[in-house]
Amino acid sequence: MNGTLFRRGMQTSWKITALLAAVLSLYISMIVSMFDPKLGESLAAMAESMPQLFAAFGMDQPGATLTEFMANYLYGFLLVVFPLVLALLLVWRLIARPSDRGDLVWMLSGAQGRLRVLLSQLGALVCCQLLLAVYCAALGAGCAGAMFPGELDLPAFLRMNAGLFGLQLFLAAACVLLACLFGEMRRGFGVGAGLCALFLLLKMLSDAGEKAELLRWFTPLSLFDPDGLLAASGSAAMGAAVLYLGAAGMLAAACVRFCRRDLAL
């Protein structure tokens, strides 16, 4: 990894990362403040009136504890979608667009190897994702501690966040790999973005009703099981491990492909 290229990538990425962090700050603080066991009964009644809609967004089980409440209303949809948007924007800004415009060739002209250039860009991508994930986890824990002292199960909460970061890495790695596989990276990026949107849609449909439950086997989002991670389920931990291993494998394959591809001048 080249330090100068890494810092350049971070300068390119920090504004969009900060913007999404600000938006998520509003959602996280607002949703945590809504926790109330009595309110949970009202939300459960509302979910019963529109079960498929609430289930599609992962909000069909309010939960009896603060940790379960946060898992349902934050980790079922919001903290999956917003980091995915960040990943797509960063893959485009750091890898796909510079490659098609010839910027990466300029970097290579400075006696930097292809692998070193790509690792620098990937380092900035993963670092921004990690910063957003840590910030959201810290903010959630901080809001919970300030508003409802002693209510948050911190070890379970951290397990859930670790699993979520694995999902974020997996989706970002899939976009990077597809971008590198196509002759024009922007086309591969478009396919990757569309595939991620399809994965999200399939997850929502599979959660909406029993008739579409089979669709859960066709999306990697099913490997992230917030409730299972809260309960320290072995299958949920295995799903998270598969996401991390899959992300590592796809990033390695992307590096191999990038080192062999033709770059735009």
User: What is the Cα 74 distance to its own chain's centre?
Assistant: 13
Q: Give the confidence band of 96 by pLDDT, cuts at 50, 70, 90.
A: confident
pLDDT at residue 239 is higher than 60? yes
The answer to the question of residue 194 being in a domain is yes
Is residue 265 one of the residues assigned to a domain?
Answer: no
Contact status, residue 93 vs residue 12, Cβ threshold 8 Å:
yes
Where does the pLDDT of residue 125 fall: very low under 50, low under 70, confident under 90, or very high at 90 and above? Answer: very high
Instruction: Convert the pLDDT of each residue in 59-77 to its tens digit.
Output: 556 567 899 889 988 998 8
Query: In this structure, is residue 201 part of a structural domain?
Result: yes
- Please check whether residue 264 is in contact with residue 105, taking contact to mean a CB–CB distance below 8 angstroms: yes
Domain membership of residue 222 (yes or no) is yes
The answer to whether residue 111 is domain-embedded is: yes
89 inside domain:
yes
Q: Is the pLDDT of residue 87 over 60?
A: yes
The pLDDT tens digits of the residues spanning 215-236 come to 788 889 999 999 999 999 999 9
Residue 252 in domain: yes
Number of domains, the chain: 1
The strand ranges marked E within the chain are none
Task: Supply the range of the domain harboring residue 63.
Answer: 3-260
Q: Which amino acid is at 233?
A: S
Buried b (16+ CB within 10 A) or exposed e, 253-265: ebbebbeeeebee
- Is 128 inside a domain boundary? yes
Q: For 215-227, give the DSSP string.
A: GGGG-GGGG--HH
Look up residue 167 and give its two tokens.
């999902």
